[in-house]
A and B are shown apart, each in its own frame.
Chain A
Amino acid sequence: MRESIDIDSVFLAFGTVKILRGVNIHLAQNSITGLLGRNGSGKSCFLKIITGSLIPQSKHIKYKGKKIDNLYTIKGLINYLPQHECHPKSLTLGKLVHFYDVEANFLIQSYPVFSKNMDRKFSDLSGGERRIVEVLLVLESKTKFTILDEPFSHIMPKDIGMIKKRIMELKSKKGIVLTDHQYRNILELSDDLYFMKDGSLKSIASEQDLKKHGYIR
Protein backbone atom coordinates (compact mmCIF):
# COMPACT_ATOMS: atom_id res chain seq x y z
CA MET A 1 0.00 0.00 0.00
CA ARG A 2 1.32 3.42 -0.97
CA GLU A 3 2.25 5.44 2.10
CA SER A 4 2.31 9.19 2.47
CA ILE A 5 3.41 11.95 4.80
CA ASP A 6 1.43 15.16 5.13
CA ILE A 7 3.17 18.26 6.40
CA ASP A 8 1.31 21.50 6.90
CA SER A 9 1.16 24.75 8.85
CA VAL A 10 4.93 25.11 8.97
CA PHE A 11 5.87 28.52 10.34
CA LEU A 12 9.48 29.48 10.98
CA ALA A 13 11.00 32.79 12.01
CA PHE A 14 14.41 33.81 13.27
CA GLY A 15 13.71 36.79 15.48
CA THR A 16 11.62 39.15 13.39
CA VAL A 17 12.64 37.57 10.09
CA LYS A 18 9.91 35.28 8.80
CA ILE A 19 11.31 32.42 6.74
CA LEU A 20 8.39 30.01 6.31
CA ARG A 21 4.79 31.17 6.41
CA GLY A 22 2.43 28.23 6.46
CA VAL A 23 4.19 25.74 4.16
CA ASN A 24 2.15 22.67 3.20
CA ILE A 25 3.31 19.62 1.28
CA HIS A 26 2.17 16.07 0.59
CA LEU A 27 4.89 13.42 0.14
CA ALA A 28 3.99 10.06 -1.34
CA GLN A 29 5.83 6.80 -1.85
CA ASN A 30 6.52 5.96 -5.53
CA SER A 31 6.82 9.65 -6.26
CA ILE A 32 9.61 12.21 -6.62
CA THR A 33 8.99 15.64 -5.13
CA GLY A 34 11.27 18.48 -6.19
CA LEU A 35 11.91 21.68 -4.30
CA LEU A 36 13.49 24.71 -5.91
CA GLY A 37 14.09 28.17 -4.55
CA ARG A 38 16.59 30.99 -4.30
CA ASN A 39 19.45 30.89 -1.84
CA GLY A 40 18.09 31.76 1.58
CA SER A 41 14.46 31.05 0.65
CA GLY A 42 14.14 28.38 3.36
CA LYS A 43 14.40 25.11 1.42
CA SER A 44 17.04 23.54 3.67
CA CYS A 45 15.30 24.91 6.78
CA PHE A 46 12.09 23.23 5.61
CA LEU A 47 13.89 19.91 5.04
CA LYS A 48 15.47 20.13 8.49
CA ILE A 49 12.04 20.78 9.98
CA ILE A 50 10.71 17.65 8.27
CA THR A 51 13.59 15.62 9.74
CA GLY A 52 13.11 17.12 13.20
CA SER A 53 16.51 18.78 13.49
CA LEU A 54 15.11 22.31 13.38
CA ILE A 55 12.20 23.29 15.60
CA PRO A 56 9.84 25.78 13.95
CA GLN A 57 7.27 28.01 15.61
CA SER A 58 4.65 25.53 14.38
CA LYS A 59 4.32 22.43 12.26
CA HIS A 60 1.82 19.65 11.78
CA ILE A 61 3.06 16.30 10.45
CA LYS A 62 0.84 13.31 9.83
CA TYR A 63 1.86 9.79 8.95
CA LYS A 64 -0.73 7.01 8.53
CA GLY A 65 -3.35 9.40 9.84
CA LYS A 66 -1.50 10.02 13.11
CA LYS A 67 0.16 13.22 14.23
CA ILE A 68 3.89 12.78 14.67
CA ASP A 69 6.59 15.14 15.94
CA ASN A 70 9.72 13.50 14.59
CA LEU A 71 9.66 11.22 11.56
CA TYR A 72 13.00 9.69 12.58
CA THR A 73 11.30 8.04 15.56
CA ILE A 74 9.67 5.58 13.16
CA LYS A 75 12.37 3.10 12.21
CA GLY A 76 12.88 2.70 8.48
CA LEU A 77 10.63 5.60 7.52
CA ILE A 78 13.00 8.34 6.39
CA ASN A 79 16.62 9.19 5.88
CA TYR A 80 18.19 12.48 4.94
CA LEU A 81 21.31 13.69 3.19
CA PRO A 82 22.15 17.30 4.15
CA GLN A 83 24.04 19.73 1.94
CA HIS A 84 27.24 19.26 3.91
CA GLU A 85 29.20 16.03 4.43
CA CYS A 86 27.81 14.07 7.34
CA HIS A 87 29.76 10.82 7.57
CA PRO A 88 32.61 10.08 10.01
CA LYS A 89 35.80 10.47 8.05
CA SER A 90 37.61 7.70 9.92
CA LEU A 91 35.26 4.95 8.70
CA THR A 92 36.07 2.83 5.67
CA LEU A 93 33.58 2.53 2.83
CA GLY A 94 33.07 -1.11 3.77
CA LYS A 95 32.05 -0.10 7.30
CA LEU A 96 29.69 2.61 6.02
CA VAL A 97 28.03 0.12 3.67
CA HIS A 98 27.67 -2.31 6.57
CA PHE A 99 26.09 0.29 8.86
CA TYR A 100 23.63 1.38 6.18
CA ASP A 101 22.75 -2.30 5.67
CA VAL A 102 23.07 -2.01 1.91
CA GLU A 103 23.99 -5.00 -0.27
CA ALA A 104 27.79 -4.63 -0.69
CA ASN A 105 28.04 -6.82 -3.83
CA PHE A 106 25.36 -4.79 -5.55
CA LEU A 107 27.20 -1.53 -4.81
CA ILE A 108 30.56 -2.93 -5.93
CA GLN A 109 29.10 -4.25 -9.20
CA SER A 110 27.01 -1.16 -9.92
CA TYR A 111 29.23 1.76 -8.96
CA PRO A 112 32.97 2.20 -9.70
CA VAL A 113 33.48 4.38 -6.61
CA PHE A 114 32.67 1.33 -4.44
CA SER A 115 34.49 -1.31 -6.49
CA LYS A 116 37.83 0.46 -6.04
CA ASN A 117 37.56 1.77 -2.52
CA MET A 118 35.83 -0.54 -0.03
CA ASP A 119 38.90 -0.70 2.26
CA ARG A 120 39.73 2.97 1.97
CA LYS A 121 38.79 5.50 4.58
CA PHE A 122 36.06 7.94 3.70
CA SER A 123 38.52 10.80 4.29
CA ASP A 124 40.90 9.41 1.64
CA LEU A 125 38.40 9.87 -1.18
CA SER A 126 38.18 13.06 -3.21
CA GLY A 127 35.40 15.55 -2.42
CA GLY A 128 33.35 14.44 -5.42
CA GLU A 129 33.79 10.76 -4.59
CA ARG A 130 32.69 11.38 -0.98
CA ARG A 131 29.54 13.12 -2.20
CA ILE A 132 28.70 10.28 -4.61
CA VAL A 133 29.18 7.73 -1.81
CA GLU A 134 26.94 9.69 0.53
CA VAL A 135 24.18 10.10 -2.07
CA LEU A 136 24.24 6.41 -3.05
CA LEU A 137 24.32 5.10 0.53
CA VAL A 138 21.32 7.20 1.53
CA LEU A 139 19.45 6.35 -1.70
CA GLU A 140 20.10 2.60 -1.54
CA SER A 141 19.23 2.37 2.16
CA LYS A 142 15.90 0.61 2.78
CA THR A 143 13.79 3.52 3.96
CA LYS A 144 10.33 4.40 2.69
CA PHE A 145 11.27 8.04 2.09
CA THR A 146 14.60 9.64 1.22
CA ILE A 147 15.33 13.36 1.34
CA LEU A 148 18.31 14.67 -0.63
CA ASP A 149 19.51 18.24 -0.19
CA GLU A 150 21.62 19.30 -3.20
CA PRO A 151 22.70 15.76 -4.13
CA PHE A 152 24.37 16.86 -7.39
CA SER A 153 26.81 19.33 -5.84
CA HIS A 154 30.49 18.69 -6.63
CA ILE A 155 29.64 15.74 -8.89
CA MET A 156 30.68 15.41 -12.54
CA PRO A 157 27.97 15.18 -15.23
CA LYS A 158 28.48 11.47 -16.02
CA ASP A 159 27.97 10.52 -12.38
CA ILE A 160 24.97 12.87 -12.11
CA GLY A 161 23.46 10.88 -14.97
CA MET A 162 24.10 7.65 -13.06
CA ILE A 163 22.47 9.04 -9.90
CA LYS A 164 19.45 10.35 -11.81
CA LYS A 165 18.94 6.94 -13.43
CA ARG A 166 19.06 5.28 -10.01
CA ILE A 167 16.63 7.80 -8.52
CA MET A 168 14.14 6.94 -11.28
CA GLU A 169 14.61 3.22 -10.64
CA LEU A 170 14.14 3.59 -6.88
CA LYS A 171 10.96 5.62 -7.32
CA SER A 172 9.08 2.33 -7.50
CA LYS A 173 10.13 1.54 -3.91
CA LYS A 174 10.26 4.86 -2.08
CA GLY A 175 9.21 8.48 -1.95
CA ILE A 176 12.09 10.81 -2.80
CA VAL A 177 12.39 14.52 -2.04
CA LEU A 178 15.04 16.47 -3.93
CA THR A 179 16.35 19.95 -3.89
CA ASP A 180 19.21 21.36 -5.96
CA HIS A 181 20.22 24.45 -7.90
CA GLN A 182 20.76 22.33 -11.00
CA TYR A 183 17.10 22.98 -11.74
CA ARG A 184 16.93 21.14 -15.06
CA ASN A 185 17.77 17.87 -13.29
CA ILE A 186 15.05 18.51 -10.72
CA LEU A 187 12.53 19.46 -13.43
CA GLU A 188 13.35 16.27 -15.33
CA LEU A 189 13.06 13.96 -12.31
CA SER A 190 10.13 15.36 -10.35
CA ASP A 191 6.55 14.18 -10.44
CA ASP A 192 5.59 17.14 -8.24
CA LEU A 193 7.66 20.28 -8.29
CA TYR A 194 7.47 23.28 -5.97
CA PHE A 195 9.18 26.64 -5.78
CA MET A 196 9.83 28.20 -2.37
CA LYS A 197 8.95 31.88 -2.55
CA ASP A 198 7.95 34.39 0.12
CA GLY A 199 7.82 31.64 2.72
CA SER A 200 5.42 29.34 0.91
CA LEU A 201 5.49 26.69 -1.81
CA LYS A 202 4.24 27.46 -5.31
CA SER A 203 3.42 24.60 -7.63
CA ILE A 204 5.62 24.50 -10.76
CA ALA A 205 4.69 22.82 -14.03
CA SER A 206 7.48 23.98 -16.34
CA GLU A 207 10.52 26.20 -16.87
CA GLN A 208 8.11 29.01 -17.81
CA ASP A 209 6.78 29.00 -14.25
CA LEU A 210 10.34 29.34 -12.94
CA LYS A 211 10.87 32.36 -15.23
CA LYS A 212 7.62 33.84 -14.00
CA HIS A 213 8.88 33.55 -10.40
CA GLY A 214 12.21 35.14 -11.28
CA TYR A 215 14.31 32.04 -10.57
CA ILE A 216 15.71 31.90 -14.11
CA ARG A 217 15.83 34.38 -17.02
Chain B
Amino acid sequence: MVQSLKLGLIYSKDFFVFSGIITLLSFILFIQLGTSSLTVLIWFKVVTNAVGIFVHHNRKQKEYFFYMNIGLGKRELISYAIISDLAIWIIGITILIKLF
Protein backbone atom coordinates (compact mmCIF):
# COMPACT_ATOMS: atom_id res chain seq x y z
CA MET B 1 0.00 0.00 0.00
CA VAL B 2 2.80 2.39 1.02
CA GLN B 3 4.80 1.38 -2.06
CA SER B 4 1.75 2.05 -4.26
CA LEU B 5 1.35 5.52 -2.76
CA LYS B 6 5.05 6.27 -3.27
CA LEU B 7 4.82 5.14 -6.89
CA GLY B 8 1.64 7.15 -7.37
CA LEU B 9 3.46 10.23 -6.12
CA ILE B 10 6.42 9.63 -8.41
CA TYR B 11 4.06 9.25 -11.35
CA SER B 12 1.95 12.30 -10.45
CA LYS B 13 4.70 14.73 -9.45
CA ASP B 14 4.65 16.80 -12.63
CA PHE B 15 0.86 16.77 -12.82
CA PHE B 16 0.63 17.99 -9.21
CA VAL B 17 2.79 21.02 -10.04
CA PHE B 18 0.35 22.04 -12.77
CA SER B 19 -2.79 21.16 -10.84
CA GLY B 20 -1.40 22.81 -7.71
CA ILE B 21 -1.12 26.11 -9.56
CA ILE B 22 -4.73 25.70 -10.79
CA THR B 23 -5.90 24.90 -7.25
CA LEU B 24 -4.13 27.96 -5.83
CA LEU B 25 -5.61 30.13 -8.57
CA SER B 26 -9.07 28.71 -7.78
CA PHE B 27 -8.69 29.61 -4.10
CA ILE B 28 -7.52 33.16 -4.91
CA LEU B 29 -10.41 33.66 -7.34
CA PHE B 30 -12.89 32.32 -4.80
CA ILE B 31 -11.62 34.71 -2.14
CA GLN B 32 -11.82 37.62 -4.61
CA LEU B 33 -15.16 36.78 -6.22
CA GLY B 34 -17.05 35.00 -3.45
CA THR B 35 -19.51 32.07 -3.38
CA SER B 36 -21.23 33.12 -6.62
CA SER B 37 -18.13 32.08 -8.53
CA LEU B 38 -18.27 28.49 -7.27
CA THR B 39 -19.98 26.95 -10.32
CA VAL B 40 -17.50 28.60 -12.69
CA LEU B 41 -14.59 27.49 -10.52
CA ILE B 42 -15.82 23.89 -10.48
CA TRP B 43 -15.95 23.88 -14.28
CA PHE B 44 -12.57 25.62 -14.41
CA LYS B 45 -11.06 22.91 -12.22
CA VAL B 46 -12.71 20.03 -14.14
CA VAL B 47 -11.66 21.30 -17.57
CA THR B 48 -8.07 22.16 -16.57
CA ASN B 49 -7.74 18.78 -14.82
CA ALA B 50 -8.93 16.98 -17.93
CA VAL B 51 -6.45 18.85 -20.12
CA GLY B 52 -3.68 18.43 -17.55
CA ILE B 53 -4.17 14.69 -17.12
CA PHE B 54 -4.38 14.19 -20.90
CA VAL B 55 -1.06 15.96 -21.44
CA HIS B 56 0.50 14.21 -18.44
CA HIS B 57 -0.67 10.78 -19.65
CA ASN B 58 0.89 11.37 -23.07
CA ARG B 59 4.17 12.55 -21.54
CA LYS B 60 4.35 9.47 -19.33
CA GLN B 61 3.51 6.90 -22.03
CA LYS B 62 7.02 5.46 -22.10
CA GLU B 63 7.13 4.95 -18.32
CA TYR B 64 3.93 2.94 -17.95
CA PHE B 65 5.73 -0.38 -18.41
CA PHE B 66 7.90 0.39 -15.37
CA TYR B 67 4.80 0.82 -13.20
CA MET B 68 3.08 -2.21 -14.76
CA ASN B 69 6.17 -4.34 -14.09
CA ILE B 70 5.87 -3.39 -10.43
CA GLY B 71 2.13 -4.03 -10.25
CA LEU B 72 0.43 -0.70 -10.91
CA GLY B 73 -1.73 -0.22 -13.98
CA LYS B 74 -2.44 2.96 -15.97
CA ARG B 75 -5.95 3.27 -14.54
CA GLU B 76 -4.71 3.10 -10.95
CA LEU B 77 -2.03 5.73 -11.57
CA ILE B 78 -4.34 8.15 -13.36
CA SER B 79 -7.05 7.61 -10.72
CA TYR B 80 -4.53 8.32 -7.96
CA ALA B 81 -3.47 11.57 -9.60
CA ILE B 82 -7.01 12.83 -10.22
CA ILE B 83 -8.53 11.75 -6.91
CA SER B 84 -5.65 13.14 -4.80
CA ASP B 85 -5.74 16.46 -6.58
CA LEU B 86 -9.54 16.81 -6.45
CA ALA B 87 -9.55 15.85 -2.78
CA ILE B 88 -7.16 18.69 -1.97
CA TRP B 89 -9.22 21.11 -4.06
CA ILE B 90 -12.53 20.09 -2.48
CA ILE B 91 -11.13 20.27 1.06
CA GLY B 92 -9.60 23.68 0.36
CA ILE B 93 -12.75 25.11 -1.19
CA THR B 94 -14.88 23.72 1.65
CA ILE B 95 -12.64 25.41 4.22
CA LEU B 96 -12.80 28.69 2.29
CA ILE B 97 -16.61 28.49 2.08
CA LYS B 98 -16.77 28.10 5.87
CA LEU B 99 -14.30 30.94 6.45
CA PHE B 100 -15.83 33.40 4.01
**Chain A residues packing against B (C-beta within 8 Å):** 51, 53, 72, 75, 79-82, 84-88, 90-91, 99-100, 138, 141, 143
Q: Residues of B contacting A51 with CB < 8 Å?
A: 65, 68
A53 touches B64 (CB 8 A): yes
A85 touches B62 (CB 8 A): yes
A-B interface, 6 closest residue pairs, ranked by CB to CB distance from nearest? A79-B69, A86-B65, A87-B66, A86-B66, A72-B68, A99-B70
Q: What's the Cα separation between A88 and B63 when bound, in Å?
A: 6
Q: Residues of A contacting B92 with CB < 8 Å?
A: none
Interface mask (B1-13 → A, CB under 8 Å = 1, otherwise 0): 0010001001001
Q: What's the Cα separation between A143 and B69 when bound, in Å?
A: 9
**Of A85, A88, A100, the contact of B69 (CB 8 Å cutoff):** A100
Main secondary structure of the interface of A (DSSP, over half): loop
CB-CB contacts below 8 Å: B1-37 with A: 3, 7, 10, 13
For A80, the closest partner residue in chain B by CB is B65
Q: Residues of A contacting B66 with CB < 8 Å?
A: 86-88
Q: What's the Cα separation between A187 and B66 when bound, in Å?
A: 28
Q: What's the Cα separation between A141 and B69 when bound, in Å?
A: 9
For A72, the closest partner residue in chain B by CB is B68
Task: Write the nearest CB–CB distance from B7 to chain A, whole angstroms.
Answer: 7
For A76, the closest partner residue in chain B by CB is B71
Q: What's the Cα separation between A87 and B10 when bound, in Å?
A: 11
6 contacts between A and B (CB under 8 A): A80-B69, A86-B64, A86-B65, A90-B10, A91-B10, A100-B70
- Quick one: given A80-B68, A100-B70, are A86 and B62 in contact (CB under 8 Å)? yes
